Structure 1
Amino acid sequence: MPTPPVSPEPIEIAEDPEMPVLATRRKTGVAALARTAALALLAALALAGLGAAPAHAADGDVTWTVRTASNSYGADRSSFGYAVNPGGRLKDAMVVANRGKAPLDLAVYTADGFTTGTGQLDLLTRDKKSVGIGAWVQADRERVVIQPGKSVEVPFAVTIPDNATPGDYAGGILTSLTQATTAEGINVDRRLGIRIKLRVSGALKPSLAVEDLHVAYAGTSNPFGRGDATVTYRIHNTGNAILSAQQAVSITGPFGWLRADARDVAAPPELLPGESWAVTVPVHGVAPTVRLAATVTLTPLLTDASGSTTSLKPVSATASGWAVPWTLSVLAVVLVAAVVGGPLLARRSRDRRRRREDARVREAVEQALREQETPAR
């Protein structure tokens, strides 16, 4: 499941972060679209929700809510979640209610999800191609008109291709309202929806990898004191299941001596298959043992359909780096200078003494010759 190279700005975040409902707003403009495609991507999507209550979008007199329908899948669900076989099909519904004072005309569509740089679930914009949930989940209508104070149930069907790859997928079903603003040629696209998590049956192969591991040391003026180190790496979800992880980072000197552990390493967000997450971890109290070994250990966390989390077999990686105190470096430079410069200085001193002696001898010889050439009187 590819992720787009965009970083949307989250807005309209509701009160309870545990409910995975998506609320978004984006701006588009006819004139701006003609000038640059970048403005066509001005979008915002963020996790939001109100517990078991419906999520809502409000702007002046325009207010609407979305919630999951109560049916055989359950009542008061916070999101949609399914386990389906390849080639399988199921039906469900979303309820949209108009809380405003005027009829509401909303677009309805689905899209694939991805994890943003802030660790939130986001959705592809409508102009982006979806290959998972956005392609497999279809609402029975593209638009819905709701009268004031009324609600409408919007059925949708989930159809899994026969050749669908087993594993986890994330996306959402959205409602959208486009409104003109006072700015000429600019529209505001307000969107509100609910997350869909889907697991296609088959061999589940959860797997995380630690990549691009590096360690850098910031020393202390005390050659026998301890400094700080920074460990950087990427967590790559190389499997087909949505995973988070517990992280542990440690640094040791030669032979595993003088170990220092990082404290309170934050867990990464849930990563979709194929996604990566950049991590930077400070480690304090690191002894400058000239050569360091940084070890990162990840314990993958897999959540099933019931919400239970299982810890999987840990994976680890190790990288080395230098940790030389600057005072020791200065001492080493001085020693090298003494070893290299000492003989050179001694040779130059001997050359100067030899030149002085040669000059003295030449002067004595010349003086003797002059005395011999002087005629007797």
Structure 2
Amino acid sequence: MKTVVVALLAALAIPPVQAADGDVTWTVRTASNSLGATRSSFGYDVSPGTTTSDAMVVANKGTEAVNLKVYTADGYTTDAGQLDLLTGDKKSKAIGAWVRPTSTAVTVAPGRTVEVPFTITVPADATPGDHVGGIVTSLTAPDKTANVNVERRLGIKIKLRVAGDLAPALAIENLDADYHDGSATVSYTIHNTGNAVQTASQAVTVSGPFGWFRADATGIVTPPELLPGESWQVKVPISNVTPALLLTATATVTPLLTDASGSTTALNPVTATATTWAFPWMITLLVAVLIALVILVVVLNRKRRARRKEREDERVREAVEQALREKDTAH
């Protein structure tokens, strides 16, 4: 029977988590201990080869006991720009491999809470930089009406910043510009080529030769936080663009790096450019007419030369025939 995940990590950011729907009767939150009392998620600065211990609290708000699976998994950014975690059947390489709950299952009685301890063991050869994932509670039950198993998950985000050289970097890739009827569309890919989680501010402009007739994009949507190695597709429309024959599109991305305290630092901006043709319709029509006239003149000239050649060939042929007749008469 197929398994469908219907409640995804509603607790990744804000504890405690309320029920995602009528069938989710439990909540999860970070434990209150020496590492923090009111944390919205788990975050640690760690060194390779070290071990850290912490705990998650599971509370049952229902009237019946819940039997939950507990596991950890690596994170990724969805196409909707949300952080999600790999499902339990997928292999993790970082958080899901380094973080281990003391138990892979927990039973919580109605109205009670249970603390689920876990340990973080960072390998000695762990890659420096940010690693993001989470710890998940999961309940799978059959849905008889749909004939599928439905997995409902609640989890809490875990972010590790492994000591070493932190090298945040973003790249703009595949920049392309297109012009049509007074509007331009600039598209590109933001690629997190560094080892830190980053988002970015963006600016996009389109201008004619020598920077004339500049038009700025407005309301550009901020990309989500991208994990190291991830990419995000951007498409920016710009209206009221002057068709100045050759347009230059410029995209500027300023990486934004958030530290453990929540402070955001803007790094050196990254810029890329692309060009596209933009002809005013009058000029386009004039060029088309001129091209048609040139083609017409060429065709007419070719026909004229062909007719002139035919007449010359005919004259030569008649002269030769006349000469031959005169020769025969002489003999």
Normalising by structure 1, we get a TM-score of 0.78
Say whether the 8 Å CA contact 1:254–1:291 is kept in structure 2: yes
Moved more, 129-138 or 55-64: 55-64
- 2-side partners of 1:296 and 1:320: how far apart? 12
Tell me, what secondary structure is at the counterpart of 1:43?
Answer: strand
Partner of 1:198: 160
Aligned partner of 1:114 among 63, 69, 76: 76
CA RMSD of aligned residues (A): 2.5
Does residue 1:339 correspond to 2:301, yes or no? Answer: no
Q: Tell me which amino acid in the other structure corresponds to 1:205.
A: A
- 1:188 deviation in Å? 1.2
Contact 2:70–2:106 under 8 Å retained in 1: yes
Q: Select which of 191, 208, 231 maps to 2:170.
A: 208
CA 1:341–1:103: 2 relative to 1, 3 Å? same
Q: 1:341-356 alignment to 2 at 5 Å?
A: 341-345=296-300, 348=303
Q: Please, which runs of 5 or more residues in structure 2 have no aligned partner? A: 319-331
Contact 1:45 1:123 in 2 (8 A): no
Assess if the C-alpha contact under 8 Å between 2:11 and 2:154 holds in 1.
no
1:350 positional shift: 8.2
- Report if aligned partners of 2:12, 2:155 keep a CA contact under 8 Å in 1: no
Q: Does 1:147 align with 2:109?
A: yes
2:146 and 2:80 map into 1 onto residues whose CA distance is 32
More divergent stretch after superposition (340-349 vs 87-96):
340-349
The equivalent residue for 2:279 is 324
2:131 to 160, 166, 169: 169
Partner of 1:101: 63
Q: Are 1:58 and 1:64, in contact at CA under 8 Å, matched by a contact in 2?
A: no
Question: Shift of residue 82 of structure 1?
Answer: 0.5
Bigger drift between 208-217 and 261-270 goes to: 261-270
* Partner secondary structure for residue 313 of structure 1: coil
Would you say 1:311 and 2:266 are equivalent positions?
yes
Task: Describe the shift of the 1:304–1:188 C-alpha distance in structure 2 as closer, same or farther (beyond 3 A).
Answer: same
CA offset digits 1:19-63 (Å, max 9, x no partner): xxxxxxxxxx2xx4xxxxxxx5x4356464598651133654761
Residue number among 227, 242, 255 corresponding to 1:287 in the alignment: 242
Q: Which of these residues, 73, 85, 89, is aligned with residue 51 of structure 2?
A: 89
Question: How far 1:183 sits from its partner (Å)?
Answer: 3.7
**Percent identity over paired residues:** 58
Distance 1:129 1:353, change over 3 A: closer
Provide the C-alpha distance between the structure 2 equivalents of 1:116 and 1:61, rounded to a whole number of angstroms.
24
Structure 2 partner of 1:56? 18
Q: What's the secondary structure of 2:285's corresponding residue?
A: helix
Partner letter of residue 300 of structure 1?
P
- Whether the 8 Å CA contact 2:9–2:155 is kept in 1: the answer is no
Distance change in 2, residues 1:89/1:188 (3 Å): same
Letter in 1 for 2:288: V
In the alignment of these two chains, the number of paired residues is 315
In the alignment, what sits opposite 2:322?
none
After superposing the two structures, state which structure 1 stretch, 96-105 or 347-356, moved more: 347-356
Distance 1:330 1:240, change over 3 A: same
Matched, 1:242 2:197: yes
Contact 1:173 1:194 in 2 (8 A): yes
Deviation >3 Å, runs of 4+: 42-53, 58-62, 346-356
Aligned to 1:224: none
Give the counterpart of 2:122 among 160, 167, 178: 160
- TM-score computed with the length of structure 2 as normaliser: 0.88
Letter in 1 for 2:251: V
CA distance in 1, matches of 2:275, 2:69: 54
Structure 1 stretches lacking a partner, 5+ long: 1-28, 33-39, 220-226, 363-377
Decide whether aligned partners of structure 1 residues 234 and 286 sit closer, same or farther in structure 2, where only a CA change above 3 A counts.
Answer: same
Looking at structure 2, the residues matched to 241 and 138 of structure 1 have their Cα atoms a distance apart, in angstroms, of 23
